[in-house]
Amino acid sequence: MGENAGRLLVVDDDRAFRALAVEYLLKLGYAVDTATDGLEAVRMATENDYDLIVMDVSMPRFNGIEAIGAVRRGKPEQKILVVTAFLAGEVAEQIAAAGASRAIQKPIELSELEDTIATLIG
Task: Specify if 82 maps to a domain.
Answer: yes
4 — alpha (psi -120 to 50), left (phi > 0) or beta? Answer: left
Question: Domain with 52 in it: what CATH number?
Answer: 3.40.50.2300
Give residues with Cβ within 8 angstroms of 104, minimum separation 6: 81, 82, 83, 87, 112, 113, 116
Task: Specify if 95 maps to a domain.
Answer: yes
In DSSP terms, 45 is beta-bridged to: none
Give the per-residue pLDDT at 4: 62
Give the per-residue pLDDT at 89: 86
Q: Which domain holds residue 72?
A: 7-117
Task: Specify if 122 maps to a domain.
Answer: no
Quickly list DSSP for 26-85. Answer: HHTT-EEEEESSHHHHHHHHHHS--SEEEE-S--SSS-HHHHHHHHHHH-TT--EEEEES
Number of domains in the chain: 1
Task: Specify if 1 maps to a domain.
Answer: no
Q: Which pLDDT tens digits describe the chain residue by residue (122 residues)?
A: 445 689 999 999 999 999 999 999 999 999 999 999 999 999 999 999 999 999 999 988 889 999 999 999 999 999 999 999 888 889 899 999 999 999 999 888 889 999 999 999 98
Task: Specify if 54 maps to a domain.
Answer: yes
